């Protein structure tokens, strides 16, 4: 019996070693995949997503295609200026801005000011591209028009030898070498964006069930010691429970600015996700609730915190610096100097009372007015 046990012991050791090797291999593969994903997203980022998603949805352009154009044009450098004078992220010519875009979008600033601003540059570029996408109805033709001009593309489309069965340009037959390379590059980038991120076509009309959102508000309200009724009020005011809600500069259920996320939330919580993660409902509630916690450490009262969430903590602190008007260091609806912020806080307070009625009062972390 002892002899048999002795013989089995080495086998058992070998089996354990084999299991350890397999586990290490699986872990290494998983880590490798994670590293690859990070590297891919670093090479094909979704910078300025709040602007790209907002205007791509508004003008009906695939957001991954917009990211591909930006990468091809400027590689996400907002200060890029080409040798022929094209400016900014989407490399728009001053003449194109002045002649085709400025009046159409009702802009009243000069080309350099407009095109040097990332938000305005993306708005102009997506609008201009969407115009030619609507006009030609073909992706390659629209991409070529963005690079070589619509008149040139019209001539190419008149040549049956240069178009495919769907009437779109055949890339390898585009006569201009620069445009041929450009269209090919954008298509390549588009395939990479689709591969890395998937075909992201979001529906801004999607509305989440209140009970689902409440679960997130309670979970993170408890974690960060924030009144979940307040969290629900902010969500209803900001997005009406729409996870893909967009406004220029803010995104997600709690409509957070990417700069606020990166500086005041991600840095403090050690998060590695980019701002695009704010389109995930639970993640958005976590970040928004933490930010309310961050504000609560610095300000007092629901009205004051809500005003800072909307108008900025610097603005609110500026108001509170007047000790004659605000001797107790907090705002009320009647004392808010800005009408827009005042209206926002009024909505917050209404939805706060609504949440108490529908969702039950948060007796653990109840905030004071």
Q: Is 241's pLDDT higher than 90?
A: yes
- The pLDDT assigned to 55 comes to 86
Number of domain units in the chain: 2
Phi, psi of 250 (to 5 degrees): -135, 150
Closest CA to 276 of 36, 31, 41, 39: 41
Is 364 part of a structural domain of the chain? no
Q: Is 365 left (phi over 0), alpha (psi -120 to 50) or beta?
A: alpha
Query: How far apart are alpha carbons 147 and 158 in whole angstroms?
Result: 18
Question: Does residue 249 surpass a pLDDT of 80?
Answer: no
pLDDT for 35: 74
Would 118 be classed as within a structural domain? yes
Share of the chain above pLDDT 70, in %: 89
Say yes or no: 235 and 345 in one domain: yes
pLDDT exceeds cutoff 50 at 3: no
Of 66, 42, 98, 57, whose CA–CA distance to 248 is shortest?
A: 57
Distance separating alpha carbons of residues 55 and 172, to the nearest angstrom: 31
- Is 235 in the same domain as 113? no
* Whether residue 90 is found in the same domain as residue 181: yes
Helices (H), 321-361: 339-359
Q: Among 197, 224, 241, give the residue marking a domain's end.
A: 197
b or e along 214-237 (b: 16 or more beta carbons within 10 Å of the residue's beta carbon)?
bebbbebbeebebbbbbbbbbbbb
Contact by Cβ (8 Å): 47, 196: no
**In a shared domain, residues 67 and 89:** yes
Per-residue pLDDT, 7? 45
Average confidence (pLDDT) over 193-213: 83
Q: Looking at 197, 225, 248, which one is the last position of a domain?
A: 197
Residues 191, 222 within the same domain: no
For residues 165 and 275, membership in a common domain is answered with no
Whether residues 229 and 330 share a domain: the answer is yes
Give residue 181's pLDDT band: very low, low, confident or very high (50, 70, 90).
Answer: very high
Asked whether residue 59 carries a pLDDT value surpassing 90, the answer given is no
Do 348 and 216 sit in the same domain of this protein?
A: yes
b or e along 16-49 (b: 16 or more beta carbons within 10 Å of the residue's beta carbon)?
eeeeeeeeeeeeeeeeeeeeeeeeeeeebbbbbb
CA distances from 18 to 12, 28, 89 (A): 10, 15, 53
- Taking residues 220-230, what's their average pLDDT? 98
Q: Are residues 176 and 253 in the same domain?
A: no
3-state SS class at 167 = coil
Q: Which two tokens stand for residue 49?
A: 């997503």
For residue 30, is it within any domain? no
Confidence of residue 39 (pLDDT cuts 50, 70, 90): confident
Residue, of 75 and 33, whose pLDDT is higher: 75
Alpha helices by DSSP H, 174-280? 177-197, 210-224, 228-239, 258-260, 267-269
In a shared domain, residues 76 and 181:
yes
Does a structural domain hold residue 220? yes
Low-confidence winner among 13-17, 110-114, 205-209 (lowest mean pLDDT): 13-17
The model's confidence at residue 41, banded by pLDDT at 50, 70 and 90, is confident
pLDDT for 47 equals: 92
Question: Which of 153, 150, 93, 145 is closest to 124 using CA atoms?
Answer: 93
Task: Summarize the confidence of residues 188-194 as an average pLDDT.
Answer: 95
92 neighbors 284 (Cβ within 8 angstroms): no
In a domain, 1, yes or no: no
Q: Are residues 178 and 236 in the same domain?
A: no
**Looking at per-residue confidence, does 9 or 128 come out higher?**
128
What DSSP character marks residue 261?
A: I
Residue-wise pLDDT tens digits, 294-346:
999 999 999 999 999 999 999 999 999 999 999 999 999 999 999 999 999 99
Residue 271 confidence (pLDDT): 94
Residue 276 has pLDDT above 80, yes or no: no
Both 72 and 187 in one domain: the answer is yes
Range of the domain at 329: 210-359
In this prediction, residue 111 carries a pLDDT of 96
Q: Which candidate in 73, 236, 238, 276 is catalytic? A: 73
For residue 191, the domain's CATH number is 1.10.530.10
Report d(CA 115, CA 61) in Å as an integer: 20
Check if the beta carbon of residue 46 is closer than 8 Å to that of residue 202: no
Active site residue 37: no
Confidence of residue 352 (pLDDT cuts 50, 70, 90): very high
């Amino acid at each position: 019996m002892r002899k048999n046990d002795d013989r089995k012991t080495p086998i058992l050791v070998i089996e354990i070693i084999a299991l350890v090797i397999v586990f290490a291999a699986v872990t290494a593969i998983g880590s490798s995949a994670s590293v690859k994903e990070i590297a891919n997203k670093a090479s094909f980022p979704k910078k300025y997503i709040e602007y790209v998603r907002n205007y791509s949805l508004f003008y009906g352009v695939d957001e991954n295609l917009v990211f591909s154009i930006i990468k091809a044009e400027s590689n996400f450098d907002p200060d890029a200026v080409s040798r022929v004078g094209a400016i900014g992220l989407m490399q728009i010519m001053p003449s194109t801005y002045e002649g085709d875009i400025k009046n159409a979008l009702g802009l009243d600033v000069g080309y350099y000011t407009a095109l040097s601003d990332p938000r305005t540059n993306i708005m102009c570029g997506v609008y201009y591209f969407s115009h030619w996408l609507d006009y030609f109805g073909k992706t390659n033709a629209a991409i070529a028009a963005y690079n070589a001009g619509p008149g040139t593309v019209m001539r190419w489309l008149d040549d049956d030898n240069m178009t495919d069965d769907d009437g779109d340009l055949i890339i390898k037959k585009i006569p201009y070498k620069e445009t041929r390379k450009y269209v090919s590059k954008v298509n390549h980038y588009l395939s990479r964006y689709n591969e890395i991120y998937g075909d992201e076509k979001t529906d801004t009309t999607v509305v989440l069930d209140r009970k689902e959102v409440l679960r997130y508000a309670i979970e993170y309200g408890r974690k960060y010691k924030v009144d979940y009724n307040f969290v629900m009020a902010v969500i209803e005011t900001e997005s009406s429970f729409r996870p893909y809600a967009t406004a220029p500069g803010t995104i997600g259920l709690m409509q957070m600015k990417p700069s606020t996320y990166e500086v005041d939330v991600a840095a403090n919580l050690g998060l590695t996700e980019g701002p695009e993660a704010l389109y995930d409902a639970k993640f958005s509630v976590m970040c928004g609730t933490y930010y309310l916690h961050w504000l609560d450490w610095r300000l007092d009262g629901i009205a004051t915190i809500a005003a800072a969430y909307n108008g900025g903590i610097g603005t609110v602190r500026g108001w509170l610096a007047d000790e004659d008007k605000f001797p107790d260091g907090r705002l009320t609806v009647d004392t808010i100097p800005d009408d827009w912020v005042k209206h926002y806080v009024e909505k917050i307070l209404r939805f706060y009372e609504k949440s108490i009625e529908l969702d039950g009062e948060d007796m653990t972390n109840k905030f004071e007015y």
